[in-house]
Structure 1
Amino acid sequence: MPVIERTFSDFLRHPNEVVAELDEHDVVLRRRNAPALRLCRADRDVARSEPFDALARLLRNLAMHSPGSISAALSDAYPWVAYLPCEECELFAEELTQELLAAASVGNYAPVAQLVREWQSTAEVYADPELLRRLSEPIEVTHGGPVPYPTG
């Protein structure tokens, strides 16, 4: 699906023109000092989300019935997975497939991106032996007495 870009001002000045373009394209509205907005027809959005739901279910089934295959696929998709220990890689695969299903069920994919960022950060720790050592050390807890109740 081709995407065309218009300014937000174009949309405000010529809304019917921009809406007419939605028959053939999605429209990205660029705004000054603010994130862009994307306009699309609702039926087109549903048409995009249904295959995502199917793919999420397919990956979940693959993870359940052939964990080795999903691990190999994850290594291809995310090269940093090579730094994760095997048990962590399996946990990543399990959490990712669960998150994909959950995201597809509510139409909010931001948690998937967050999960991938968190696992990539975990892989970065495993990739740095000194950092891994420091973060694996026990934390010395000192008790400084009760914490005062916040004021204001």
Structure 2
Amino acid sequence: MATRTFPFSTLINKQTSVFPALEDAEVILERRDAENLVLMRSGRFEAMVKGLSLAARSLGIIAKANRTLAEEVFAEELPWLTWLPADARRECVTELLDQLLAGADTGLLLPFSRALREWQSTAEVYSDPELTRRLLGPFDTSEAADVERPGRADG
């Protein structure tokens, strides 16, 4: 997918330079104070959503029929899966497939993106044996102090 990038102010001040770029590219509008915006023609957007939906549903069908194959496909695209323990790898693949299918069906892909980022972070922790050992405990609580639960009413 071709993209062109413009400052957001260009859309406000010189629309005539932004809109022609949509003929053959998606436009990223960079904003200083907020997340960037993407402009695209509705036909390309609908094609992207339909393609994603078909791909997600197809992968879901494969996963139901052959979980091992689905794990192999994900491992090919997400090499960091190898750092997860086997049980966590299966849980990861299941969650990512479920999130992807739900996102393809609803158009809400942020939960999938969040789960993908969280699982990758988890895998990165497992890639460091010393960090994994420290996080799994046991923990030294000799200097720990009890803390009141926030919002708890006294008396």
TM-score by length of 2: 0.79
Aligned to 2:54: 54
Percentage identity across paired residues of the two chains? 33
Q: Over the residues paired in the alignment, what is the CA RMSD in angstroms?
A: 2.8
Cα 1:144–1:87 change in 2 (3 A) is: closer
CA contact (8 A) 1:28 1:39 kept: yes
Kindly state the Cα deviation for residue 34 of structure 1 after the two structures are TM-superposed. 4.3
CA distance in 2, matches of 1:115, 1:103: 12
Query: d(CA) in 1 for partners of 2:43 and 2:96?
Result: 27
Cα offset, 1:21, TM superposition: 3.7
> What letter corresponds to residue 55 of structure 1 in structure 2?
A
Alpha-carbon distance between aligned partners in 2 of 1:146 and 1:49, rounded to the nearest angstrom: 48
- 2:91 maps to 91
Unpaired stretches in structure 2, ≥5 consecutive residues? none
Deviations 1:6-46 (A, max 9, x none): 33232222325533443433222233454432111223211
CA contact (8 A) 1:63 1:93 kept: no
Structure 2: how far apart are the matches of 1:148 and 1:107?
37
Aligned residue identity for 2:25? H
1:72 corresponding residue in structure 2: 72
Are residues 1:9 and 2:9 paired? yes
Partner SS for 2:108:
coil
1:3-152 aligned within 5 A: 3-137=3-137, 144=146, 147=149, 149=151
Give the 3-state SS of the residue equivalent to 1:22 in structure 2.
helix
Q: Deviations over 1:103-152 (max 9, x none)?
A: 1122122222211121122222322222222222356887847546479x
Gaps of 5+ in 1: none
Change (3 A) 1:24 1:127: closer
